[in-house]
Chains A and B, each alone.
Chain A
Amino acid sequence: MRTYLLPEYIVERDDLKCTRCKICIEQCTYGVHYYNAAKNIIESRSERCVNCLRCVLFCPVNAITVRRNLNAYRENYHWTYEFIASIKRQAELGSALLSGMGCDRPYLTFWDKLLLNACQVTNPPIDPIREPIEIRTYLGRKPKILEFKTGDGDIELETKIAPDLCAETPILFAAMSYGAVNLNVHEALARAAVECGTYFNCGEGGLHPNLYKYSEHIIVQVASGRFGVDLKYLNAGAAIEIKIGQGAKPGIGGHLPGEKVSKDIAAVRMIPAGTDALSPAPHHDIYSIEDLRQLIYALKEATEYTKPVAVKIAAVHNSAAIASGIARAGADIIVLDGVRGATGAAPKIIRDNVGIPIELAIASVDQRLREEGIRNEVSLIASGGIRNSADVVKAIALGADAVYIGTAALIAMGCTLCQRCYTGKCSWGIATTDPEISKRLNPEDAYKRVVNLVRAWNIEIKEMLGAMGMDSIESLRGNREQLRGVGLTDRELKILGVKMAGE
């Protein structure tokens, strides 16, 4: 069938600069560039280009430019390029369209409508360079009251503290499974977690034997497919996370296509190589909050009550009520993944149309748990599209204890958000398990970039806290008085629990 799809990007090459070194041909995993020996020039099949910028950045003479195709469908306000192109594609393929990364539709990003407070005259700001500002974050169940024993002038804590996580920053690395990404990515994130004193979630595809040495900084995940889950795995992690859903595909299971299930991945997932690795949409032993409690306590029994158990859900319409149930089911941490949360592969229609923004979910869940008097029983992790340190600070002011970053960590490593993770051809060597392409991601280099990113954000978080006159991130948690809204309706402000700027 002749394709009616327009090339989305056009690759231009400055032939005067081009030295025919063929690096672009080697670097492109989508087969865009080829050498025309008869003419002694390098040519491009623009229709294959995904604008991942690999060739642009690796061309030693900066000869390549990738630009959007100016020949566009005759789009209008209602029928945009994307909708027209999707229909043409589906008319040719007859299948549901896949996509990678998070929802890119122009729904309101509330982070950009929230502004932070700062001290002026009547209360002094703190300079983080000369005064310590504490950003250490404990995640887990907190006691309602603390009781102390006194005697001989010593004061001792009598209350037993439940097992928890101690992170030196409120930034943790979100779940990305071995299979969705390769071992180099896992190693880089695990090492970065160790260096930053934080945690890396290994996702639902099991934990590679080489990474068990970092397990004090690893959160192990249990999803409906139960891949790689045995006693050794459960006891290796610093915490266990039950994955109910993810922001990119709420209510949808996952499947790693058979061609990505290589020998290594099959061994870590403990399944036969070459078969589809299916994570059914529900856990078939969980159809209720009571059933969730059963799995939470099965995991606690399996680890002898030594580790906090987290439950991750996608932010959906009734998240607040669900979160209340999760807290009462015995979870120590609740992870909320908003509509911008990313994925290695999801049906595009789900990614772009299901779920709610994380800002609203965090605010309503925090509010609900406070009203019910059980906020101390769980920690909240906000996840899904956290782009910079201001998003982190705003999330914490709205009521989160910490955030997960996934996309941001990958961008630090090299990801350019081309959204083709599901093809397994990631030219940056991230969302691929091809042994050759995976070599492009050097774990040593990637780990340094991620560590640098977290270090940079930590500095900025301290700057923002200091400006608000706070010397501890604890003082910011759920402190919505430090936020003001701009360009939001009364109802939006009410749900966020935030005043209008000027009030």
Chain B
Amino acid sequence: MSVINNCIKKLEDNAAIIDANEVPYQQLNMLLRKLSVNGIRTVEIYNVCGQRYIGTGLKAPLEIKVYGVPGNDLGAFMDGQRIFVYGNAQDGCGNTMNDGLIVVHGDVGDVAGYAMRGGKIFVKGNAGFRVGVHMKEYSDMKPIMIIGGKAGDFLGEYMAGGIILVLGLTGEEQRDEQSMKFVGVGMHGGTIYIRGEIKCKCMGKEARIEETDEYDLCLIRDLIKEFFTYFDLEISINEVIADKFVKIVPVSTRPYGRLYG
């Protein structure tokens, strides 16, 4: 426990500051769990360098500010906590997340939001491959993920619910067909919105493009407004909202309907 306690740099009222330099992830996460059940509500962690599972297994509300690069599975199985990352996040960010908020002031790696069923993920920069794979919605839970930059191939693969919005603010690459292939492959629920154009060639065969309607545009506007509250961006909000959006929906909720007899 002494190693753990040594890394607490400040502890007052309901806030704590931690220096995570060379602290193994098991100890860092144990400390977060201990702090949260003891009434700490905000934690700032400095010198984070690859520690995995930050935010996993917490049973009390907590707001975590991460300075540095958190490791894989940031916020896996998370249930209502809030994480702000001032840097990039790695793979599996928000894996099977139930509820809560992850805001990344950088890029995220592959499979961000895998099987996510609630909560929100906001990424200022780009996202890797298979982002939003098997995202699902249920009852009044509807996960939302907004990528400020571009996303890799297989975006929304096997998607069963929720909303993914890709803004493509980091350049024009997102509009290049080479940059995003097989969008929505295996998709059978949920909606993907992409700012700009998408060529049909890039689509998974289980997904199709649909015209946006007033409801979609209203929703997109609200999501973009929320996105802008977290990040300082060079582009103006109105400029983004005014742009064209592509809506991608599943062809069917039963993609395997006629495969077997």
Contacts from A to B (Cβ < 8 Å): 89-90, 93-98, 224-226, 229-231, 234, 255, 257-258, 266-267, 270-272, 274-276, 278, 280, 284-285, 294, 297-298, 301-305, 345, 347, 422
**Smallest beta-carbon distance A99→chain B, Å:** 10
Contacts of B92 in A (CB 8 A): 285, 294, 298
Contacts of B88 in A (CB 8 A): none
CB pair B260 A97 closer than 8 Å: yes
Looking at the complex, which one of A229, A257, A266, A267 makes contact with B96 (CB distance below 8 Å)?
Answer: A229
- Tell me the bound Cα distance from A49 to B31 in angstroms: 62
Looking at the complex, which one of B72, B76, B141, B160 makes contact with A278 (CB distance below 8 Å)?
Answer: B160
In the assembled complex, B10 has its CB within 8 A of some CB on chain A: no
Within 8 A of A (CB), among B49-95: 52-53, 56-57, 59, 72-73, 76-77, 79, 91-92, 95
**Smallest beta-carbon distance A280→chain B, Å:** 6
Looking at the complex, which one of B29, B157, B261 makes contact with A97 (CB distance below 8 Å)?
Answer: B261
Looking at the complex, which one of A270, A274, A298 makes contact with B138 (CB distance below 8 Å)?
Answer: A270
Contacts from B to A (Cβ < 8 Å): 25-26, 29-30, 33, 52-53, 56-57, 59, 72-73, 76-77, 79, 91-92, 95-96, 98, 111, 114-115, 117, 130, 133-134, 136-139, 141, 157-158, 160-161, 186, 188-189, 253-261
Nearest chain A residue, comparing its CB with the CB of B92: A285
Q: A225-B134, A271-B136 are contacts. A298–B76 as well, Cβ < 8 Å?
A: yes
Looking at the complex, which one of B29, B56, B73, B161 makes contact with A271 (CB distance below 8 Å)?
Answer: B161
- A272-B189, A276-B254 given; name 12 further pairs at CB < 8 Å: A225-B134, A230-B77, A231-B77, A234-B77, A255-B256, A271-B189, A272-B160, A275-B160, A284-B130, A298-B92, A302-B57, A422-B260
Looking at the complex, which one of A94, A226, A257 makes contact with B134 (CB distance below 8 Å)?
Answer: A226
- Tell me the bound Cα distance from A267 to B136 in angstroms: 12
Q: A226-B96, A226-B134 are contacts. A284–B114 as well, Cβ < 8 Å?
A: yes
- Tell me the bound Cα distance from A94 to B25 in angstroms: 53
Q: A225-B115, A276-B255, A278-B158 are contacts. A301–B57 as well, Cβ < 8 Å?
A: yes
**Smallest beta-carbon distance A162→chain B, Å:** 14
CB pair A231 B79 closer than 8 Å: yes
Contacts of A276 in B (CB 8 A): 188, 253-257
CB pair B79 A230 closer than 8 Å: yes
Q: What are 17 of the A-B contact pairs (CB < 8 Å)?
A: A95-B261, A230-B77, A257-B257, A270-B141, A272-B161, A274-B253, A276-B188, A278-B160, A280-B133, A285-B95, A297-B52, A298-B76, A301-B25, A301-B56, A304-B33, A345-B260, A422-B260
- Tell me the bound Cα distance from A95 to B257 in angstroms: 10
Contacts of A90 in B (CB 8 A): 261
- Tell me the bound Cα distance from A285 to B113 in angstroms: 11
Contacts of A285 in B (CB 8 A): 73, 91-92, 95, 111, 114
Contacts of B259 in A (CB 8 A): 95-96
- Tell me the bound Cα distance from A483 to B89 in angstroms: 54
Nearest chain A residue, comparing its CB with the CB of B154: A284
Contacts of B57 in A (CB 8 A): 231, 301-304
CB pair A301 B260 closer than 8 Å: no
Contacts of B261 in A (CB 8 A): 89-90, 93-98
Q: A257-B254, A298-B95 are contacts. A280–B188 as well, Cβ < 8 Å?
A: no
Contacts of B138 in A (CB 8 A): 266-267, 270-272
CB pair B77 A229 closer than 8 Å: yes
Contacts of A304 in B (CB 8 A): 30, 33, 57
Contacts of B134 in A (CB 8 A): 224-226, 278, 280, 284
- Tell me the bound Cα distance from A97 to B260 in angstroms: 6
CB pair B260 A270 closer than 8 Å: no
Nearest chain B residue, comparing its CB with the CB of A270: B138
Q: A255-B256, A270-B136, A276-B254 are contacts. A298–B73 as well, Cβ < 8 Å?
A: yes
**Smallest beta-carbon distance A229→chain B, Å:** 6
Contacts of A255 in B (CB 8 A): 256
Looking at the complex, which one of A270, A275, A347 makes contact with B117 (CB distance below 8 Å)?
Answer: A270
CB pair A298 B186 closer than 8 Å: no
Q: A95-B260, A96-B260, A230-B79 are contacts. A275–B114 as well, Cβ < 8 Å?
A: no
Pick from A275, A347, A422 the residue with the most CB of B within 10 Å: A275
Nearest chain B residue, comparing its CB with the CB of A269: B138
CB pair B254 A258 closer than 8 Å: yes
Contacts of B255 in A (CB 8 A): 276, 278
Looking at the complex, which one of B26, B98, B257 makes contact with A230 (CB distance below 8 Å)?
Answer: B98
CB pair B188 A231 closer than 8 Å: no
Contacts of A270 in B (CB 8 A): 117, 136, 138-139, 141
**Smallest beta-carbon distance B257→chain A, Å:** 8
Nearest chain A residue, comparing its CB with the CB of B78: A231
Contacts of A305 in B (CB 8 A): 26
CB pair A267 B139 closer than 8 Å: yes
- Tell me the bound Cα distance from A285 to B157 in angstroms: 13
**Smallest beta-carbon distance A125→chain B, Å:** 49
- Tell me the bound Cα distance from A298 to B77 in angstroms: 8
Nearest chain B residue, comparing its CB with the CB of A274: B253
Pick from A94, A229, A231 the residue with the most CB of B within 10 Å: A231
Nearest chain A residue, comparing its CB with the CB of B189: A275
CB pair A257 B160 closer than 8 Å: no
Contacts of A347 in B (CB 8 A): 260
Contacts of B95 in A (CB 8 A): 285, 298
Nearest chain B residue, comparing its CB with the CB of A283: B114
- Tell me the bound Cα distance from A266 to B136 in angstroms: 11
Q: A230-B77, A302-B56, A304-B33 are contacts. A284–B111 as well, Cβ < 8 Å?
A: yes
Contacts of A278 in B (CB 8 A): 134, 158, 160, 186, 188, 255-256
**Smallest beta-carbon distance B53→chain A, Å:** 4
CB pair B115 A275 closer than 8 Å: no
**Smallest beta-carbon distance A237→chain B, Å:** 14
- Tell me the bound Cα distance from A105 to B189 in angstroms: 38
- Tell me the bound Cα distance from A229 to B96 in angstroms: 7
**Smallest beta-carbon distance B6→chain A, Å:** 22
Nearest chain B residue, comparing its CB with the CB of A232: B79
